[in-house]
Amino acid sequence: MTLPAPAPSYPDGLAQLSRGRDNNLNLIRMVAATMVLLSHSYVVASGDMKSEPWLALLGMTPGGVAVDAFFVLSGFLVMGSLQRSGRIGPFAVARSLRIYPGLWVALLVSTLVVGAAFSELGFRAFISDPQTWRYLARNATMVGGSEAVLPGAFAHNPFADQVNVSLWTLRWELRLYIALGLMGWCATRWPRGARLMPALVPGLAVTLLATTFILLFLDKPNDAPRLGAMFLSGAAYWIHRDRLRIQGRWALAVCMAMAAGAAVAPHAFEVIYRLGFPYVLMYLAFVPGSTQGPATLRGIRAYNRVGDYSYGMYVYAFPVQQCTAALLPGISTWTMTGVAGAVTLMLAMLSWHLIEKPATSWRRRPATRAEPGKSS
C-alpha cells in the first residue's frame, strides 16, 4: 500500500526521530508489561478487582495505562508494517509470526503444566474435560474471543479459577490488525483509497475517542472503542509522522495538564489523558537517548541489546502469579510482584530467544531496514 508523498520532515519530526531501530520501544514495552504484572498482583493476592489504590484517584490503573501504551505503539508499528509490506499476504504472515508461535507455546505450558498441576481434578479427568480443549482452541486463534478458565485450576486462590486473564487484550489487537489490513487491502484495490487513508484513519480514531468519552460520562465504559481509539491514534501518528514535531516542552505540557485533571476529577484526567497520551508516548519512545534528547539519557538505548521480553512477560505473568498465590498463601502484593516477576522474566527470556525471535526471522523481509517496527 502506497500512501501519498509525505511533506518535508522537520529535524525534530517524528519521521526523523523514528528512523532505524535506535529507539526506546523495547524498554517501554518491558516497563508496560511490568506495570500489568504489578496491577495483577493486587488482584491475584487479594481477590478483589478494585483493590488497586490508583482506581479511586485516577479511575484507571497502571495496568490500564500499560495496555493503552501497547495499543498505541502497536498501531504505529503495524501501520508501518502494512505500508512496507505493500500486500495483505506478507502483512498477515508478519503479524501471525509475531503473535502466534509464542502464544501457542505459552498456551501449552499453561494448560499441560500449570493447569494440570494446579487442578483439583485428576490428570485424566482434566485432559478429558471439554473445557480444557475449549481453552486451547479459543485462545489458539483469539479472533473469536479468549478463555481464562481451566477445569478445577486455582479453585481455592483468592482470585479463583482464572488461569490467564491477560489474554483478553490479544483478541482486540488481532481484530484491529484484521481491520487495518482490510483497509489497506481496499486502498490497493480502489484508486482513491490510498489518498483517503490519511483522513480515514485519524477520522476513525477521533470517532472512537468521542464514543469513549460519551460512554465514560454515561458510566458505561467499553473496551472496544477505547482500545480501537488508542490503536488508530498510533496508526495516525505513523501516517502523519512527517508533519508531527515531537518536543519535550509539549510532552511536559501534556503531563502537567493530566496532573491538573487528576486534581479535579477522574473523568477530567481521563479525557486529557486519552487526548495527550499518544503524544507523550511518542516522545518517550523516540527522544530520550537521541540527539534531540538530554545528553544524560544517551545510555538508555543500551537496553536494545537485551532483547524484547515484553510479550513473554505479558503472556506468562498471570499463570505464574496464580501459581505463586497457590504455593504461598497470604502473600503480599509487593512480594508477589517480586517473586512472580523474577520467574516470569526467566520464562520471557526463554520465549524470546527460543521461540519468538527465531519465528520472526522466518518471514521474508523487504529491504526496509531504515524503518522502525521490525520487532513489533
How many domains would you assign to the chain?
A: 1
Q: Does residue 365 lie within any of the structural domains?
A: no
Q: Would you write out the chain's pLDDT as a tens digit for each of its 376 residues?
A: 556 545 555 667 899 899 888 899 999 999 999 999 999 999 999 998 888 888 877 888 999 999 999 999 999 999 999 888 877 888 888 899 999 999 999 999 999 999 999 999 989 999 999 999 999 999 998 888 889 999 999 999 999 999 999 999 999 999 999 999 888 888 777 767 677 888 999 999 999 999 999 999 998 889 999 999 999 999 999 999 988 999 999 999 999 999 999 988 888 999 999 999 999 999 999 999 887 778 778 789 889 888 899 999 999 999 999 999 999 999 999 999 999 999 999 999 999 999 999 998 876 554 343 344 444 4
pLDDT in the model for residue 7 = 55
Q: Does residue 366 lie within any of the structural domains?
A: no
**C-alpha Rg value of the chain to the nearest Å:** 21
pLDDT in the model for residue 193 = 67
Q: How many CB atoms lie within 10 A of CB 89?
A: 11
Q: Does residue 9 lie within any of the structural domains?
A: no
Three-state SS letters, the chain? CCCCCCCCCCCCEHHHHCCCCCCCHHHHHHHHHHHHHHHHHHHHHHCCCCCCCHHHHHCCCHHHHHHHHHHHHHHHHHHHHHHHHCCHHHHHHHHHHHHHHHHHHHHHHHHHHHHHHCECCCHHHHHHCHHHHHHHHHHHHCCCCCCCECCCECCCCCCCCECCHHHHHHHHHHHHHHHHHHHHHHHHHCCCHHHHHHHHHHHHHHHHHHHHHHHHHCCCCCHHHHHHHHHHHHHHHHHCCCCCECCHHHHHHHHHHHHHHHHHCHHHHHHHHHHHHHHHHHHHHHCCCCCCCCHHHHHHHHHHHCCCCHHHHHHHHHHHHHHHHHHCCCCCHHHHHHHHHHHHHHHHHHHHHHHHHHHHCCCCCCCCCCCCCCCC
Q: Does residue 1 lie within any of the structural domains?
A: no
- Residue count (the chain): 376
Q: Is the CB of residue 315 less than 8 Å from the CB of residue 166?
A: yes
Measured between alpha carbons, how far is 214 from 270 in angstroms, rounded to an integer?
A: 12
Torsion over CA of 105, 107, 108 and 111, rounded to 10 degrees? 160
pLDDT in the model for residue 113 = 95
pLDDT in the model for residue 366 = 47
pLDDT in the model for residue 9 = 58
Q: Does residue 172 lie within any of the structural domains?
A: yes
Place of cell 517473586: 339
Q: Which domain holds residue 272?
A: 14-360
pLDDT in the model for residue 256 = 96
Q: Does residue 222 lie within any of the structural domains?
A: yes
Q: Does residue 2 lie within any of the structural domains?
A: no
Q: Does residue 203 lie within any of the structural domains?
A: yes
